[in-house]
């Protein structure tokens, strides 16, 4: 009981937390056991109380209940404070309408500006393309004109070359004709100088023709003479050869142009006929 008094802590009897039920049950069991002993004890014999040894001291044993696992605390979702609904300010319809008109006006101005910029760029591009076409066309005309001038110059050069060639040919022909006349006159002179040295053979007859080739040098000297076409009479052919050899030299040939000498007198051909040789 002293233990109970200590546990009560004064101010009334209180059971410690967690031990109330076990203590009550212990008391009930003790009372029940005592009652059973009293009932079963014989009536003839007086109840003798045995002295309780003083050395025995009872005390309450604190029985700690087995610890149970602490229940898991459920996660508590943080409560979101709901914002108090804000009061909508009163809308000024006229101001709102004016804002809309201003925004629409700015939008239209931006669109107009954008459109004008696009038109300006398109116009600039079109102008650049036009200038490029004109430049290309001008370059093409210039090239065509240069080609035309070049062709005209080529035709003029060809015509000039043709005229020059014709003039040169004509001049050459004239020169050739003049040289031929000079050559014929000198050939006649050589024939005239050969006649005095010719003696008519008895076998010579009119109609005979003996063609001689005389090799000369620019001094007019005869270096060789041959019959290249016989008259058919050996005596007449030999008489013409002797006549040329006797003449020996024709100094007049030194007066003619070198080109005339090279063309006609380096190898000179002369025909001799009996009737031409008679004087």
Q: Domain containing 235 — which CATH number?
A: 3.30.1150.10
Parent domain of 212: 179-277
Residue 153, domain member (yes or no) = no
pTM above 0.85, yes or no: no
Instruction: Give the angle 258-263-266 at the CA atoms, nearest 5°.
Output: 80
Residues 104-121: tens digit of each pLDDT:
999 999 999 999 999 999
Residue 27, domain member (yes or no) = no
> How many domains does one find in the chain?
1
Residue 173, domain member (yes or no) = no
Residue 108, domain member (yes or no) = no
Residue 224, domain member (yes or no) = yes
Average pLDDT over every residue of 47-68: 53
Question: How much is the pLDDT for 230?
Answer: 92
Residue 4, domain member (yes or no) = no
What's the distance, CA 108 to chain centroid?
A: 46
Helix (H, G, I), strand (E, B) or coil at 227: strand
Residues 217-239: tens digit of each pLDDT:
999 999 999 999 998 999 999 99
Residue 78, domain member (yes or no) = no
How does DSSP classify residue 249?
Answer: B
Cα(63)–Cα(121) distance, integer angstroms: 100
Residues 117-135: tens digit of each pLDDT:
999 999 999 999 999 999 9
Give 227's strand partners. 212
Cα(199)–Cα(207) distance, integer angstroms: 17
Average pLDDT, the chain: 80
Cα(104)–Cα(207) distance, integer angstroms: 132
Residue 207, domain member (yes or no) = yes
User: How many distinct helices (H) and strands (E) make up the chain?
Assistant: 6, 3
**pLDDT tops 80 at residue 58:** no
């Amino acid at each position: 009981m002293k233990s109970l008094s200590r546990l009560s802590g004064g101010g009334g009897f209180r059971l410690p937390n967690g031990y109330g039920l076990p203590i009550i049950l212990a008391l009930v069991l003790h009372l029940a056991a005592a009652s059973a002993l009293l009932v079963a004890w014989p009536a003839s014999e007086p109840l003798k109380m045995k002295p309780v040894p003083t050395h025995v001291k009872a005390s309450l044993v604190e029985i700690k209940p087995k610890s149970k696992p602490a229940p898991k605390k459920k996660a508590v979702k943080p409560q979101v404070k709901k914002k108090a609904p804000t009061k909508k300010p009163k809308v000024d319809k006229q101001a709102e309408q004016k804002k809309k008109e201003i925004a629409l006006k700015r939008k239209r101005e931006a669109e107009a500006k954008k459109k004008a910029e696009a038109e300006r760029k398109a116009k600039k591009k079109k102008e650049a393309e036009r200038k490029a076409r004109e430049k290309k066309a001008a370059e093409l005309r210039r090239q065509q004109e240069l080609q035309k001038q070049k062709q005209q110059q080529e035709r003029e050069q060809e015509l000039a070359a043709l005229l020059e060639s014709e003039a040169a040919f004509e001049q050459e022909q004239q020169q050739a004709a003049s040289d031929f006349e000079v050559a014929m006159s000198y050939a006649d002179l050589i024939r005239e100088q050969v006649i005095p040295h010719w003696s008519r053979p008895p076998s010579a007859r009119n109609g005979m023709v003996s063609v001689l080739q005389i090799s000369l040098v620019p001094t007019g000297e005869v270096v060789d003479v041959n019959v290249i076409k016989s008259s058919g009479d050996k005596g007449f052919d030999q008489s013409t050869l002797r006549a040329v050899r006797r003449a020996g030299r024709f100094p007049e040939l030194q007066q003619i142009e070198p080109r005339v000498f090279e063309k006609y007198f380096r190898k000179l051909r002369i025909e001799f006929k009996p009737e031409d040789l008679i004087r």
